Amino acid sequence: MKPQNLLILFSDEHNPKVLGAAGHPFISTPHLDALAARGTRFTQASTPCPICVPARAALATGRYNHEIGYWDNADAYEGAVPSWHHALRKSGHQVVSIGKLHFRGHPGDDHGFSEERIAMHIVDGKGDLLALNRSPDAPPRGGAKKMIGMAGPGESDYTRYDRDITAHAQIWLREEAPKYADKPWVLFVSLVAPHFPLTAPPEHYYRYANMQLPMPKQYAAAERPQHPYLQDYARIVPYNAAMKGEADVRRALAGYFGLVSFLDEQVGKILAALEDTGSGSATCVLYTSDHGDNNGSRGLWGKSTMYEESVGVPMIVAGAGVPAGRLVSTPVSLIDVFATTLDAVGTAPQPSSGQSLFGMIDTPDAERLVYSEYHATGSREAIFMAQDRRYKYVRCVSFAPQLFDRQSDPEELRDVAADAAYAPVLARMEAALRSRLDPAEVDARAKRRQAENLAANGGWEAVLKRGDLPFSPPPGVTALWS
């Protein structure tokens, strides 16, 4: 491809199914749908870790978390492992970040950007220390009541922050981008929506609150899968326990859907500014998210699982040389963004665990395996995923594995791991996972790091005294501890 500018639009917690272009029956996302119509959408995109901080470290470095050692929301990227930001800056490109990064953010940390504007990093450079307790006896997290308590119409610190991010992005595109016409630039705009709190601007909230929203799939207690890792997560992160009935569930859903439409509105403003400056034809646009959200399916909220609602992400690329309206089912990952950024601007490739998305557009149905892993809140042992075009394999260290045939069961409602007919598939996926890592070794390594981090912060009693942080505050807002 001809080198061009790159605008990365990044959201937080966007369930890939909640997108008009993906066939959602009622969500309003006209700007993202238009981007997909004029570009290529990857229909099987995943996060390397379904929780914010480690997902963003993997995105930055193009490496899986077991390769780089950032495990949880208290173990943030600090610039020690080279990122695509470092590589592009070293090659003379202007590479600018606006908005949420969720890196460590200590004074002197060099994350690799030429400039960071209104960056949000983890709280106090320490983040979510309660995530360091991996015991099955860990106390339930305290933010569950805020999930439903804040769901409804209005503005939150996050929607105000997103409006500010959008304003900064428009200003940068109009005033700064023209200064770098001699070499392609990269602008990384990282919005927070639709991450909870589920407070959505009224014009978006009531679009969905006035509908009779369907209940999430397998929401009834009798329908929920009873796998041990799901039970652990539901107990320690008890979002659903705060829901007192179907009205609460629908209010939470209206808040989430409203935030997705609010996100789409911000995307529209940024893309309009890009076109107004005349740079649209010389700029590739990549839209994706750090992970998804369970949205009440199976009685689960938030992320942290390997179901598609949580581990899947939207992935859209549009620009000169990108086919319009194409769907690519080749599995891809946020790991691939590293190679994609270098490819877009014409910088020589550098080692990573991914591939350029541009190189996969012309092989839209290729066989490929991508992976994900989880080592954080609500998990007593590591959870791994290996996924190809048809099958998803979920493997804990000692719990029974899960296997989903997404060709016959796209909603992942039936675990076929115990079905003898799938034994060859199970063996193949296990071998593929083990060719990349040893589950027990990775689990032990993560827990050693977490024990060290816990000790460095005064031990469990000191961490408990510090309190629970349901969500990180944006710049200029004081953290509200429970």
**Helical axes 202-209 vs 246-276, angle rounded to 10°:** 130
C-alpha distances (whole Å) from 99 to each of 11, 128, 377 are 10, 20, 25
Q: Which of 72, 25, 7, 9 is nearest to 257 (CA)?
A: 25
CA–CA separation, 60 and 125 (whole Å): 18
CA–CA separation, 343 and 79 (whole Å): 22
Q: Which of 236, 133, 48, 121 is nearest to 446 (CA)?
A: 133
pLDDT value, residue 479? 62
What is the DSSP secondary-structure string of 7-40?
EEEEESS--TTSSGGGT-SS---HHHHHHHHTSE
Domains of the chain: 5-368 (3.40.720.10)
Cross-strand pairs, 332: 45
Are 285 and 318 in contact by the 8 Å Cβ rule? The answer is yes
C-alpha distances (whole Å) from 415 to each of 154, 224, 233 are 40, 12, 18
CA–CA separation, 122 and 126 (whole Å): 6
pLDDT value, residue 433? 98
From first to last of the 482 residues of the chain, give the pLDDT tens digit.
799 999 999 999 999 999 999 999 999 999 999 999 999 999 999 999 999 999 999 999 999 999 999 999 999 999 999 999 999 999 999 999 999 999 999 999 999 999 999 999 999 999 999 999 999 889 998 877 788 889 999 999 999 999 999 999 999 999 999 999 999 999 999 999 999 999 999 999 999 999 999 999 999 999 999 999 999 999 999 999 989 999 999 999 999 999 999 999 999 999 999 999 999 999 999 999 999 999 999 999 999 999 999 999 999 999 999 999 999 999 999 999 999 999 999 999 999 999 999 999 998 899 999 999 999 999 999 999 999 999 999 999 999 999 999 999 999 999 999 999 999 999 999 999 999 999 999 999 999 999 999 999 999 999 999 988 778 889 988 665 44
**Helical axes 157-171 vs 246-276, angle rounded to 10°:** 10
